[in-house]
Each structure stands twice: as structure tokens, then as C-alpha cells.
Structure 1
Amino acid sequence: MSAPRERNGGQILVEQLRIQGTKRVFLVPGESYLPCIDALYDHQDAITPIVCRQESGAGYMAEAYGKLTGEPGVCFVTRGPGATNASIAVHTAFQDSTPMILFVGQVGNDFYEREAFQEIDYRRMFGQMAKWVAQIDRTDRIPEFVARAYAVATSGRPGPVVLALPEDTLWGRATVADMPRYERVHGAPTPVALDKLSTLLAGAKRPFLLVGGSGWTPTAMRQIEGFAERFGLPVGVAWRRLECFDNGHPNFAGHVGWGMVDALRQRIHEADLVIAVGTRMGEATTEGYTLVESPQPRQKLVHVYPDPDELGRVFRPTLPIAADVVSFAAAVAQLSPAQTVSREAMTAVTAANANFLAEQEPKDAPGALNLNRVACHVRDHVPDDACITVGAGNYALFAHAYHRFHGVGTSLAPTVGSMGYGLPAAISAKLENPSRTVVCYAGDGCFQMNLQELGVAMQYRLGIVILVFNNGMWGTIRAHQEREFPGRTIALGFDNPEFSQLVKAYHGHGEVVDRDEDFAPAFARALEFANREQLPALIELRYEPDGIAPGVTLSGIRAAALARQSA
């Protein structure tokens, strides 16, 4: 480390980011943290500033970076409005267990508690949606706070940290030593826990392995695959964590949670042992805490999670194991069954995978454009390492139902269900892996929440492909409305711009597709343009709104609801 030297707060902070390994920061510039912006000028060889159009987009890009790399995604926003815009990404990072650090400009300490211009108490604002919220009131403590932020964001259950930066702290000067790069803390299973796990596996007749959460590496995934193979375990992925297990593996059973197929649901219901690794098993994964019941599951439950406070909080496990996915995978890589896996167990694995593959055939849908076939075509015409991003909405179920994800970085999806996520996430994915094919699935409402970030794709020459599902309504809410209040549709529809023309204002390529036979050539043109020009390509999908989800129609939901009411 270099000897302590005098610097202003912005210079000290940015040098700490460099030491901690930060290579990209996402920001919407603000005068409240101007010394940090100036300090970035001297670190252009190591840190790239990505200038975003709105703070929610910047925050989403940082959150996606955390998912992709396992390192904290870093975002800078200005005080007040900037912080409130970015809060949606902080909430996403919290519920998705993603390492992220949000730096927020703050009024100077000399103005604090006067409700000065754009003043907010960030400890109170972010207190329940971040792992740690603090304000750095002294310039000479910046290295300490930044080092701790990286440690907190990545330790135990990963998550977001928010640091407020008063102006006088950033403009102030101090002679202070830098802190060394943080060391990630890993929690590993004990030998006793592994012995108990082996015993439970030996006694189980219908075991099931459920994987999810964050922090997975290619090595950990291969080790878990080997574990599943040796012990004859069908494997499901938790809600919107489709990348956590290779969907092409013969032990793969499918996506667990809202929208899962009946055969998979029944398999988990009938399991006598569920081994949940890395996942909290939240409301979506457990279908409202019914698939695995809270507080006492009907199945024997082995719950592996990095935060001990989570173990026993919602579910009473038979065996709680406080460990992160990397350490657990390394540990079970050394386990082997005491006896040959039974023929019945291997038959169950084969049947589970066969059920999954049977559901990979496109279902029928009303109208001239079948979104099931669209999703299958994308699956079959992108590389295995392609990254598919989604936001929130029923349109995302088409990607989840048909695409086969093959590991870390192939899926970016907010488990918190936040809209506007898909496009910023696709931008972040392309920045991180420029040679990787990136396809964003976006609903027409979801896309319009952050479509201005097309400017980032244009500015940094990012060849992403965007599929906009245009049905002119808030489709997911419409489905709920038809289920609960059939036939009383109101306040759910909207008129859309010409998305295919809008993208051209950002120097991109745009087309409209409204028939099955037109999608394949349009998708080929979009991929070719994105790769050649390194600019965004957009296909606007105009389809029959009744086809709301794979195998589901709004008219069918309405008919079933009316039948229940008249019964």
C-alpha cells in the first residue's frame, strides 16, 4: 500500500473503489458528489463510468452486475430525487440477495437537520431494504467505511449497502492510509452436518434437490451436478433462479414456483426429503408457502443458507446448515452414497427430466402469432451461453417455460418482480461480456419504465436484442382481475407508441412481427444487426391479448371465475 497522503474526499473514495477491484460504476451525475466525478478522471484506466439516463436504470445495472460477477455492483446517485429513484434497485438487490453498493450525495453537515435542498435521512429511508446504511461524516474515515461496505455486501447473505456522502466530507481533505482489498467470508458445513445429511439421504425414498440464491460459480455448479448424479436426485431451480443448474442436465426437473407444471408440483409435494441449497424458499418459490409449508414442512427439510438468521425463521428444518453455496458444493463433492442408488430413484430422476422435456414443446395459443413458438425459436437459435433478461409480467413466463439456461450469467431476472429491469440488466450483461448474445424479453408496460436507457446502449455501442411483447395492457394485473372480478375490466389498457420506430431514434433496428412465419427471419436480422453494428435491435411482437401465458388465456380465466361464482 502507498504511504498516506493528503487528498480530498472524492479522491480518497474513488481510490478505495479501485483498490477493492471496482471496474465499472453506474451513475446519473449530480452536483452533490462532484468531487467523486472529478476523481474518476484520474482512474479511467481501471474504472469505467457508465452514464445512465435515470437512477432506477443505473441501480438496476449495478444490481445486474452483482448477479453476474458476485462482486458488489456500484452505483452513484445524487441526493433526494436521485436516491428515491434508485430505491427500487436497492429493494431488488435486498430481496434477490445481490451484492450492491449505492453511494448517495448528501447535504453538508453544516446544513443537516434543516430540511435543506433535497435532504433526506437515508438511514430511515433505506433502513429496511439494505443490509447496512450509514453516513460518512468524516473525510478520514472514508477508507474504513468503503472497505466495510464491500465486506458487508458480500458476506453471509449478500445484499445492498447504502452510504450517504455529505458534501463537506467529499470536499474536505485528509491524510489517511488506504484499506486493503476485502476478503470474502465463506461459511462451510460442519462434519457433523454432512454426516446427518448422508444419513437423511440414505433413508430417503423420494428426495428432491432445490437450488437457488446467489453466489454460484461454474465450479460449484459442476460439483452440485455431480452430487445430484451420485445420489440420484431430481433437481429444480427456485423461482427466477433458472441459471443455478444446467437446464440441459439429465437430472433437471424444472422451474419451481409460480407457473410450474403440475407434475413438478406433485413431485415436490410427495417428496420425503427436500434439500434446499442457497434459496430462502420465498413466497413465489413455494407458491404461497404451500409447496413447502411454513412453519412445519410436511417433508423432511435440509435447508442450506449462508445467513444463520434465515434458518428456522420461516421453515423449521430437519437439518439447518449455515453455509454458502460455494462451500456447500465443495463439501458435498466429497460425499458418495453408502450403497448403490436404487433403480426406483434413478427412474424418478428419468421421469422428472422427461416431464420437463415434454413441457418444452410449444403450446397452442390464439391468434396469428404464437408466443410459445417465439420463445422456442429463440431457445433454439442462440448460443448456450446467451443471456436472457426479463423484468416483471406474464410475458416473462414464456422465457421461463421454454428457454434452457446453462449456468452463471445466462439469466437475469428480478425475483422481487420489479418492472423495468430487463433493459438495464441486458445493458449490464453486454458491458460485462461484449461477445455474448444478450436478449431482453420486455412487456410493453415494463419496457416503457426504462426505455430511455436505450441511450446507454447507443452511447456504448451495445448490440442487444429486445423483444417487446405488445398487448396494450397491464397483462398480469388483467389476469388477476379476471380471476377475482371477471368481466369488470377497467384501468388496465393503454395506447402504445411505435416501438419499432422508437428504437430507430437511438440508431437501432426495429421491426414489427404479428405472424408466426415472420418471426424467424426478423430474429435473424435483429441478431445480425446487433452483432454487426453493435447497436440495439428491437422486435415488436403484436399478438392476441387473450394468450396471456403459456397454455393460459384470459377468456379461460374469466370462464373459470364465472363458473365458481355461479356454483
Structure 2
Amino acid sequence: MTQEKIAGHLLVECLIVQGVTHAFGVPGESYLAVLDGFHAHADQLRFVTNRQEGGAAFMAEAQGKLTGRPGVCFVTRGPGATNASIGLHTAFQDSTPMVLFVGDVASDARDREAFQEVNYLSFFGASTKGMAKRVERIDDARRIPEYVARAFATAMNGRPGPVVLVLPEDMLTQTVSAEPLPRVEPVQAWSDPGALRTLRELLLQAERPLVIAGGGGWTPQAAAALQRFAENWQLPVANAFRFQDCFDNHHPNYAGDVGLGISPALAARVRESDLLIAIGPRLGEATTGGYTLVEAPRPKQKLVHIHASAEELGRVYQATLAINATMNAAARSLEVLTAPPGVAWGQWTLACHAEFDANVDVANGGIVLPGRIDMPAIVHTLQRLLPADAVLTNGAGNFASWVHRFFKYHGLAKGLKTQLAPTNGAMGYGVPAGIAAAILTGRTVFTIAGDGDFLMNGQELATAVQHGAKSIILLLNNGTYGTIRMHQEREYPGHVSGSSLANPDFCALARAYGYGAECVTHTAEFEAALQRALAAPNGTLIEVWLDPEVITTRSTLSAIRSTALKTQA
């Protein structure tokens, strides 16, 4: 006879069956029964207590990226749910599997604008235009296993993304005899054999093909199969915006990343290509140069678009050939696609990689920046000293452009994900994502942040210390919201408004949380500081004072000097 249990405990048992080992969140009185379930199963599932729901949601999103299975976040009703929406939006635009559990008002108080009540279906707007793939409320505790299994399946199948499950407080305290459903595995959608034959014909007709890989759903096996496909056909491969670890940057077929501030040489290659093979990315605004490199709705290049969701195919671009397939299935189909003895684009591929190497080679760049900090040299120091399996994280801001351009990411084909970055441009992502990576993997984690970016979720250093996580944070302090200042200098030169920052003592702040801290004012000081951080048992913040006149674009990395910067920074 099945033993009865509190519904909140059943929910935790369902998560354990789905393979969840960590859940992130901020506790709330609306789901006390679930918190009691975490206590009862603490040896199997660890609840990581965060300091703000936005940080918790970012950690869950990072968990989804790292594991390929839904990251899990728990928040309370109203303010908790709205705070967590930034992580949900990131998961949606980044195609990351995630499940957000929201404790809700009791059923007898619903629809009265009760304390902290929100209509979550309206707020999260489950649709292709909303923030979630599905939003559901569990009113019957006996159906918890059904809802949880469906949430995990929805989050992983097709285009991965977030699901919201709303949990009425009184439902969670009911006593039930239900049992968890079995672990859900994602469904694989295989490429149509006829479409593969057409793709092969398009390749044989091409002279300047280019692969763009990215999006959600990639596994080490899929990345390895993609690499074999590229090698068999001698194809150049570029990675989509902030999916720079889909294809190994050290590989001789790598062409660079197609994103914000794209290398002018690579932008020209995309435009000149006569066959683009997009495997996984939606081909959003950042990856297409504002829909100019690949024009919508009908590109000038022949376009083969391979995506896990049929709804994404034809939504923006009318492709020459559209293939509905998941990344594992697509890559495995492509790697066995018979290649001819020789191809017409061998020199094209070599040239693409040579241009990438030149773009990341500081000696060839002739970059001279104002101030005492040489950021390209610092990134090259990172390349030398960080272990190959290190996880690099960042939020949004001009500071991220340094690692995006000068760091060569190791590919997922080597077995591990090494980049966590928000394609939706969410500030404040890097710090909590890095802490989540440290908790989940135990690997070396390096985060680059700006001064504005850091203060959006810097309080999660307390979470890191509480849960024994170590991350190394490089904080670039230039006293500005640098990206906004860059745009101001271009559009309204000399008219600085709203982009200057008065900052705290970041090193003192980090030490107060329990992190080590160092301040670097000269490039020569950085290497020793990084070595000390790598050797330290706890996390470290390395603050670098960057001249405020250094406002970058990835294509030129030029130093913009202006009277406004000199007098107001």
C-alpha cells in the first residue's frame, strides 16, 4: 500500500526522480511544505538559499546550460516571481531548459487581489512572444507527478526553454498517496533523409559555404559529431552570439563568433557566403547583425536552417532548406553525410581560420589603449593560466567584449561546457552564473564583470560563501555604464546623462562577504594576482581600474576620447 505524504514532500521526490541534485531559490511562506520536503531529503537534493530571486533564477538558468536538463528555481508569490522573471526571460531567449516553481496564494483567496497575488499566466505569457513555454497551476495535489513530468518534458523538447508551475499554498499541505513518475528524457527529432540528400546537393554546388552553430540543446556528443562533419567536408564553422563553445575555437576549421561587434573580416565572409548552414541558432538580431548580415525574410545567401522547433523554422527567415531536428540527431546525421574526395572551398576555410587567428592576436591588432591596463594582454594571461576545463561567465556590458574577442573557448566536443553568457543581454548574470557553476561542477570558474553589472547581483557572494563555492571575479571598474556611454558618445557626443557611476570600495565589499580581494592598477600586476586567486581556497575578486576613456566596440576596440569623459567620469 502506498504511503501517504505531504504534497510538498511529493514534489521534492518528483524532482529527485528527474535527476535534480540542486534547487536554487529564496524561501517563502507560500511553499513551506516544499522547504520541509527539502529538509527531509537533504541527502539527495540540496536547496541553495539565494539573496535575491533574480540571482536564484540566473543560477537555475546556468544549471540548465551546464547540465542540459532543466535548472530548478523556487520563489514565492508576487514580488518573488517578478524578481525571478529576468532569469526566466534569459532562459527563454537563450533556449535553456528551466522550471520555475512559484508559491501562490491559497485557493480560497484567489482572484481577490490577495496579498502578493499575481495572474501568472498573464504575467509570464506562455507563448512564442512571452517568457515561458508553458505556465500551469497545480490545484490537485494528486496530479503533482503529472505536472512535474510534463514541465520537464516541455522544457527539454523542441526548442528548450522555461516552464512555470504555480503552487497554491493550501495544495502543498494536502496529504496524498501519489508516487513520482519516471525520469523524462528529451525526444529526438531526426532529419528527413530527403532533406539530407538536398543538403548534400547544395554543398556540392557551393563555393563559399559557412556553418553557424549555436542555440540550445547541444551535448558533447552532438558537438563532437558537428566537428566530424566539419572535418569531413572541410567546412568553416562559426559560433552564434554567446555560444562560443559549440565548436572548439582552437580547431583549424574555426572561423570566429557571429555576434555583437563581429570581426569585419568574418562579417564579410558571412555576406560573401553562397551557402549558410545554421545548425541550432534562431538567427536572432545579435547573430545576424540586426538582420543585415543575413537579410530577412529572404536571405541573399542560400540558407539551410536546422532547428529543434518546427515553429522557429520559417518564423523569421524563409530558408532554401528547413530541417526540423534536435542537435543530437542533426549532428549525427550530418557526420555520416558522404563527402567527396575534394572540395572547392579548401582555401576559403583556411582563410576564414587565418582571419580569426589574426583577430585574436594582440601583436597584429596594433591596439593602444589609454591608461595603464592592457586588456588584450590580460585576456591572454587568462588563456595561459586558466585550466582547459574552466567555466567562463559574464553578464552584459562592454567589458564582456574583451573575452569574447580575445579568449579561445574550448569546445563542448571535449566533454564540458565552458561558456555561460546571456544572449538576451541581461546585466547581473555573470556573478550568480559563476557561483552556480562552482557549486554544480567544482571546476575553476572565472567571471568577468563591469562595475555596473556587478552591483546588480553582487550580493550573491554571500551565497557563494555560505555554500562553499569558489569563483574568481575580474571586476572592471571604469565608473560608467560603458555600453550606454559608448552609444551616447556616438549619438550625442559630449552630452553625458545617466551613465556615470559613484561606486563603493569593491575590495572592501568583497572582503565583507568573505571573498578575498585585490586591486590591480597596472597590467604587470595581474598575473600574480590571478595566480594567488587560483591557489586560494576561497573566492577572490580582482578589481581592475580601467581608464574611463576606454570605450570599446569588438570590431575596432578603439579608445574614444572626449571632453565629457575627461570632465565627468
The letter for the 2-side match of 1:536 is: G
Per-residue CA deviation, residues 414-468 of structure 1 (Å, 9 max, x unaligned), is 000000000110011111211x211000010000000110011111222210000
2:47 and 2:113 mapped to 1: Cα distance? 31
Q: Paired residue for 1:331?
A: 333
Q: Paired residue for 1:419?
A: 427
Q: Paired residue for 2:567?
A: none
- Which residue of the other structure, out of 117, 120, 144, is the alignment partner of 2:118? 120
1:221 and 1:167 mapped to 2: Cα distance? 43
1:53 and 1:31 mapped to 2: Cα distance? 16
Q: Paired residue for 1:151?
A: 153
2:239 and 2:562 mapped to 1: Cα distance? 27
1:46 paired with 2:44, answer yes
Where do 1:153-232 residues align within 5 Å? Answer: 153-232=155-234
Partner SS state of residue 14, structure 1:
helix
The answer to whether the 8 Å contact 1:140/1:174 transfers is: yes
1:376 and 1:91 mapped to 2: Cα distance? 33
2:183 and 2:515 mapped to 1: Cα distance? 40
The answer to whether the 8 Å contact 1:208/1:268 transfers is: yes
Q: CA deviation at 1:273?
A: 0.1
Q: 1:263 to 1:557 in 2, by over 3 A?
A: farther
Q: Paired residue for 1:306?
A: 308
1:546 paired with 2:549, answer yes
- Which residue of the other structure, out of 515, 519, 523, is the alignment partner of 1:512? 519
The letter for the 2-side match of 1:478 is: R
Q: CA deviation at 1:5?
A: 3.1
TM-score by length of 1: 0.95
Deviates more, 1:284-293 or 1:3-12: 3-12
Q: Paired residue for 1:394?
A: 398
1:399 and 1:232 mapped to 2: Cα distance? 27
The answer to whether the 8 Å contact 2:99/2:155 transfers is: yes
Q: 1:557 to 1:68 in 2, by over 3 A?
A: farther
The answer to whether the 8 Å contact 1:10/1:35 transfers is: yes
Q: Paired residue for 1:562?
A: none
Gaps spanning 5+ residues in structure 1: where? 560-567
Q: 1:558 to 1:394 in 2, by over 3 A?
A: farther
The answer to whether the 8 Å contact 2:26/2:49 transfers is: yes
Partner SS state of residue 215, structure 2:
coil
2:507 and 2:59 mapped to 1: Cα distance? 24
Q: Paired residue for 2:539?
A: 536
1:457 and 1:424 mapped to 2: Cα distance? 9
Cα RMSD for the two superposed structures: 1.4
1:553 and 1:544 mapped to 2: Cα distance? 13
Q: CA deviation at 1:196?
A: 0.5
1:278 and 1:558 mapped to 2: Cα distance? 45
The answer to whether the 8 Å contact 1:364/1:372 transfers is: no
Per-residue CA deviation, residues 509-549 of structure 1 (Å, 9 max, x unaligned), is 111111111111111111111xxx2x210110101111122
Between the two proteins, the alignment pairs up a number of residues equal to 550
Q: CA deviation at 1:481?
A: 0.9
2:216 and 2:562 mapped to 1: Cα distance? 35
Q: Paired residue for 2:351?
A: 351
Q: CA deviation at 1:172?
A: 1.3
Where do 1:73-152 residues align within 5 Å? Answer: 73-127=71-125, 128-152=130-154
Q: Paired residue for 1:293?
A: 295
The letter for the 2-side match of 1:497 is: P
Q: 1:171 to 1:92 in 2, by over 3 A?
A: same
Per-residue CA deviation, residues 374-430 of structure 1 (Å, 9 max, x unaligned), is 112111211121111000000000010011111232000000000000011001111
Divergent runs of 4+, >4 A: 556-559
User: What is the percentage of aligned positions where both structures have the same residue?
Assistant: 48
Q: 1:140 to 1:557 in 2, by over 3 A?
A: farther
Q: 1:554 to 1:235 in 2, by over 3 A?
A: same
TM-score by length of 2: 0.95
Q: Paired residue for 1:71?
A: 69
1:160 and 1:4 mapped to 2: Cα distance? 32
Partner SS state of residue 304, structure 2:
strand
Deviates more, 1:194-203 or 1:515-524: 515-524
- Which residue of the other structure, out of 385, 388, 393, is the alignment partner of 2:389? 385
The letter for the 2-side match of 1:548 is: I
The letter for the 2-side match of 1:118 is: Q
Per-residue CA deviation, residues 132-182 of structure 1 (Å, 9 max, x unaligned), is 001111111111111100000000000000011001110112222331111
Q: Paired residue for 1:563?
A: none
